[in-house]
Amino acid sequence: MNMPSRKALLSTAAAVALLALLAWAALREPAQLVRVQPVTRGPLTHSFTEEGKTRLKARYVITAPVAGMLRRIELAPGDAVRAGQALAVIEPATSALLDARSRAQAEAEVRGGQGQQAAARQRISAAQAAHALAQASLRRAQPLREAGAISQEAFDQARTRASTAAAELAAARADEQTAAQRVAAARAVLAQEGRAASAAKPLAVPAPVDGVVLKRLLQSAAPVAAGQPLLEVGDAAQLEIEAEVLSTDAVRLAPGMAARVLRWGGQGTLQAAIRRVEPGGFTKVSALGVEEQRTRVILDITSPRAQWAALGDAFRVELEFILQHEENALQVPAGALFRTQASAPAPGTSQAADAAPATETWALYRAVDGRARRTPVQTGLRSATAVQVLQGVAEGERVIIQPDDRLRDGTRIEAH
């Protein structure tokens, strides 16, 4: 019997190897194309955004103290006025004799206004003391912040307290001037009792505070009744922001927390701080027709006035409320995470009877040696684009972005 030649054996072996390679290639699992990104470290902010609008901290409606003929008002909205400046002039009509009730009411107005003046002076004294203390604290905090002895948050709180104290002092002084105008108006009623219009002097209506004219309710000369609104005046430099926040978000806010004004029409981002979270909520229907429970949050703008001088009353802004911030957070893209069921004890084990229902946890796929490896992770802070990972992955590892339902643990992948 002739033995096969060596050449024939080599040819047969090569053919068998080729057939085996072709069979392996045909049966091999196809690789899925995936997009990967590395796990990185960096700053991460947990926040949410909401729309808001500016409003004056104090606005004053100027009314006619007596009935008569109003002279033409030359002031226009936007005109600056000084405290005590004549805003309008009224030529009093013939004053009727006051009955006992009206006279007693006018005299009570005088006494009430004087009481308000006294109370306002006390508030001014208290506000001056608080303002001086806040300014002193801010001056002490400045070198400490520059030396790194205190945090930025503590310095921002000191600056917010100084701004709030200044605003409260201005409001107390404005209340005193308003009370003085109330006394003057009541005394004018008593002084003009029974006088004829020809004998009465024109009565000037003064501005209670420094500010600008917001609205002009009357312009041309016309008869007016006592108490009829004429103008609205306010200080445009004393602005605050009002936001209507979902009640589920409002419970996470507190006075003193930082916020940012993102889109307000000007350059850059403005800094703000929460001054008050109102305790009462209200129902509001959204643009989609959904009823929502919201509450009002009031913020002070802490950036220098020169940066937001163009802002006016009732301007729309967009706010970012900062709940928590980490400077060096281990993070992955938000699109890498997906929900998964936590593993439960196997049936028949000693723990199966007392085991709690399976809970949902977060997981992701790591790209390891051309394979997708499913990895449960523990998450922390979350932003719109990234999530902090507390446990499960290490810096520099690659994770798969937007995994689909075809991906399984051990699936062959081709990253790009």
33-47, 115-129, 230-244, 326-340: least confident range = 115-129
| H or E, element range at 227 | none
- The residue behind tokens 């096969």 is 4
Asked whether 247 and 295 are in contact (CB, 8 A), the reply is yes
CA distance linking residue 187 with residue 191, whole number of Å: 6
Asked whether 378 and 390 are in contact (CB, 8 A), the reply is yes
Q: Which CATH number is associated with domain 64-87+203-237?
A: 2.40.50.100
Q: Which CATH number is associated with domain 46-54+238-325?
A: 2.40.30.170
Amino acid found at 300:
D
Asked whether 308 and 299 are in contact (CB, 8 A), the reply is no
Taking the model in full, what pTM does it have? 0.55
CA distance linking residue 297 with residue 275, whole number of Å: 8
The residue with greater pLDDT, 361 or 416, is 361
318: which strand partners? Answer: 51
Segment 367-397, tens digit of pLDDT = 888 888 999 999 988 888 899 999 999 999 9
Asked whether 196 and 43 are in contact (CB, 8 A), the reply is no
Instruction: For residue 230, report the phi and psi dihedrals to the nearest 5 degrees.
Output: -115, -50
Does residue 116 have a pLDDT over 60?
yes
CA atoms within 13 A on the CB side of 214: 21
Q: According to the model, what pLDDT value does residue 97 have?
A: 60
CA distance linking residue 408 with residue 404, whole number of Å: 9
Q: Which CATH number is associated with domain 32-44+329-415?
A: 2.40.420.20
Does residue 344 have a pLDDT over 70?
no
Tokens at 357, concatenated = 């229902």
Instruction: Taking residues 20-33, report their average pLDDT.
Output: 64
CA distance linking residue 162 with residue 134, whole number of Å: 5
Tokens at 40, concatenated = 């990185």
pLDDT above 90 covers a percentage of the chain that reads: 26
Dihedral angle over CA of 109, 112, 114, 115, nearest 10: 180
Tokens at 347, concatenated = 């049936």
Asked whether 158 and 164 are in contact (CB, 8 A), the reply is no
Q: According to the model, what pLDDT value does residue 177 have?
A: 81
pLDDT above 70 covers a percentage of the chain that reads: 86
